[in-house]
A and B are shown apart, each in its own frame.
Chain A
Amino acid sequence: MKDQNNILVIGGPNVGKTHYGGQLYGRLVNKQGLYKITSPPENLIVFREVLDSLSEGKSAGRTHVSSNEQLKLEIEDSKNNKVLFSFPDYGGEQIDKIVNERKVNSIWKENIDNSTGWMLFIRLDELKPIEDIINRGIPEQSVLESRNKNEIDLTISPTAFYIELLQMLLYVKGVSSYKNDCEVKLTVVLSCWDNIDGISKESKPSEVLEDRLPMVKQFIDSIWAQDKVTFIGLSSTGKTLSNDNVDEEYINKGPENFGYIVNPNGIIEPDLTLSISGIIG
């Protein structure tokens, strides 16, 4: 019997979804990891650009904003358990739009309805840390008065952004927010792990999230039971690639020999296919 697993990769622009997809696909067809592909899909157009770029030792361009493609793959684990999983490709701006305009279109509604697991990409190195009265204090009244008071429009904090995004997706999925028994499995992916400030070899992804976005971590813990949520770190390409200059080492060794995940215990694993084990494992 085949299990149908629809993984919905959720992430805003520039969080590394496309590179991840390309590298994951590379690992699956290479058949060295825990999960292997059974036969190449008929239509690989979704990954065409990223596979080409990585093979050349370059970084891939960004997915077109309005793009909405699905890639369906059949994979199997070491015990030949077959699993179907689909991987949607879309411009990350669509995620920003969902939160900012508070509207979910029918394509997204369908994606959410059909999904059995979510991979939430958070790129911590690009998030501006919150500086407020709690961690930076407030000057004396006399100092405040001497300053000019320009009204600057609200930019919601990354904390609020991710919580609101999850609240919206949960609502569309019809998950009760009254107890932590969400059936949709969640893997939180801290992408571009190698670029996060202050990361050590001992760092565990869940602790890093708790340290940087504590309220997001608390929210996740309040909805997902411990065995339904996984926190991992990810460096899809292993190092920073450029758009224009080729990386010779990359060409020589092949992209499938670069990149790693940091498993929930903080251990580096080169097998990128393990990133989906929290959802289909």
Chain B
Amino acid sequence: MAGKCSQETCFPNETGCNVEGHEYVSDCKFYNSKENKENKESQEEEQDILSLPWTGNTFGLSDLNFLTAGSNPIIIGVTGVASAGKTTFLSTLYCLLRNGKNIGEYKFAGSLTLIGWENLAWYLSWKDDNAIQYPPHTSRNAGRVPGLLHLSLRNRDGIRKHLIFTDAPGEWFDSWIYNKNDINAKGARWIHQNSDAFFLFADSEMLSGSKRGIARNQIKLVGDRLKENLKDKPFGLIWSKSDETISADIKNQILTYIQNSPIENYKEFETSVREGEKGIFHQNILNSIEWILDTIQNQKNAGLKVGIQKEDDLFLSKR
């Protein structure tokens, strides 16, 4: 409950009447407009104002209702330990789309979290005073559910896809590695349980630096957790900051480890905020999303097998 509505999932001041769906909040039976009688002016204003059911900022769980009421979004769990480049990856993705890039045959078709995306991209945009910087550390006080970023895509045939990306602090995964039930790992568990696809971030900069041993170990452990109950969900390994070179040894150890038990849908992508030769690192960001879309698209249940009882039955034998 927030403000003057008695319903838990309603935030009338921000997103209007969520539960009953009234155009004007003051028409709702759950809305308590009496409290504020002394302030007549604001009351009049309330009656005159139509609020929108999304704030433009990063989604929380109750914001998802507006989207999921009409579509079945693909939730992409963006995982990896702190400063692995998860948020920078998402920012770069948005900047690419803003510059008109496509994801395979899919083009941009809207977003309910545009302000959230713009907030991320703001860091990677040049300001008036010539400032530009990497997105800062995603703070861990963000709560139990990660910030969710929405993206709607559409291909030439008019088929729409709604994607939700999780933007979570790396510390959640740090806690999750060592204790699945850690109180600080609640958000990581949410991502693991609810995502339809995963990206695991391996930070090339850390893997080539003095802490490469620890970094290698952490990536392996997050990988282990993700693989639990993975089934056929796509699992993409993202080599972030790929403009830094990692020793072949380290890279191979990680690869061998991740694949020590079979993963049905697995692929690697080398990405970076720097475009790389012929823009390959940027292109790989787009390709990774395309791969997830394609993989999920192609996942269909096996055809139904109908046993033919009467072989001379024309209707059953014609297939």
Point out the residues of chain A lying under 8 angstroms from B118, CB to CB: 154, 156-157, 160
Cβ contact within 8 Å between A103 and B49: yes
For the complex, give the distance between the alpha carbons of A156 and B23 in Å.
Answer: 27
Instruction: Tell me how many residues of B have a C-beta within 8 Å of chain A.
Output: 50
**Contact flags (1/0) for A60-74 with B, using CB distance below 8 Å?**
000000000000000
What's the count of A-B pairs with C-beta under 8 Å?
A: 135
Q: In the complex the two chains form, is B126's CB within 8 Å of A102's CB?
A: no
Residues of chain B contacted by A152 (CB below 8 angstroms): 127-129, 131
Please give the residue numbers on chain B whose beta carbons come within 8 Å of chain A beta carbons, in ascending order: 23, 48-53, 55-56, 70-71, 92, 95-101, 107-112, 114-115, 117-119, 121-122, 124-129, 131-134, 152, 154, 158, 160, 273-275, 282
Bound together, the chains give a CA A172 to CA B128 distance in angstroms of 35
* 17 sample A-B contacts, Cβ–Cβ < 8 Å, listed by A number: A102-B56, A104-B49, A130-B98, A133-B92, A137-B275, A149-B133, A152-B127, A154-B122, A157-B118, A160-B117, A167-B110, A167-B114, A177-B109, A178-B71, A222-B154, A223-B109, A223-B110
Once the chains bind, are B126 and A164 in contact (CB under 8 Å)?
no
CB pair A177 B110 closer than 8 Å: yes
Question: Number of contact residues on A: which range applies?
Answer: 35 or more
User: A218–B100 contact, CB under 8 A?
Assistant: yes
Measured between alpha carbons, how far is A14 from B292 in the docked complex, in Å?
A: 44
**A159 and B107 contacting across the interface, CB-CB below 8 Å:** no
Give the 10 A-B residue pairs with the shortest CB-CB distance, closest first: A214-B100, A222-B109, A131-B126, A132-B125, A104-B50, A134-B99, A218-B108, A133-B124, A222-B154, A218-B107
CB A214 to nearest CB in B, in angstroms, measures 3
**Residues of chain A with a CB closer than 8 A to B52's CB:** 102-104, 168, 171
Min CB distance A170 to B, Å, is 9
Give the distance to chain A from B253, nearest Cβ to Cβ, in Å.
26
Report if A215-B98 is in contact (Cβ < 8 Å); known contacts: A103-B49, A132-B126.
yes
Evaluate contact between A164 and B133: CB separation under 8 angstroms. no
In the bound complex, residues from chain A placing their C-beta under 8 Å from that of B128 are 152
A179 within 8 A of B: yes
Task: Please state if A102 and B55 are interface contacts (CB–CB under 8 Å).
Answer: yes
User: In the complex, A102 Cα to B282 Cα: how many Å?
Assistant: 33
**CA distance in complex: A242, B107 (Å):** 42
A106, A167, A218: which contacts B48 (Cβ < 8 A)? A106
Q: How far is the CA of A154 from the CA of B52 in the complex (A)?
A: 21
Question: How far does the alpha carbon of A222 sit from the alpha carbon of B106 in the complex, in Å?
Answer: 11
Chain A window 75-102, contacts with chain B (Cβ cutoff 8 Å), 1 for yes, 0 for no? 0000000000000000000000000001
Indicate if A246 sits at the interface (CB-CB under 8 A): no
- Chain A 143-154 interface 0/1 with B at a Cβ cutoff of 8 Å (1 = within): 010010110101
B92 contacts which chain A residues (CB < 8 A)? 133-134
Question: Whose C-beta in chain A lies nearest to the C-beta of B49?
Answer: A103
Question: A133 contacts which chain B residues (CB < 8 A)?
Answer: 92, 95, 124-125, 132, 273-274
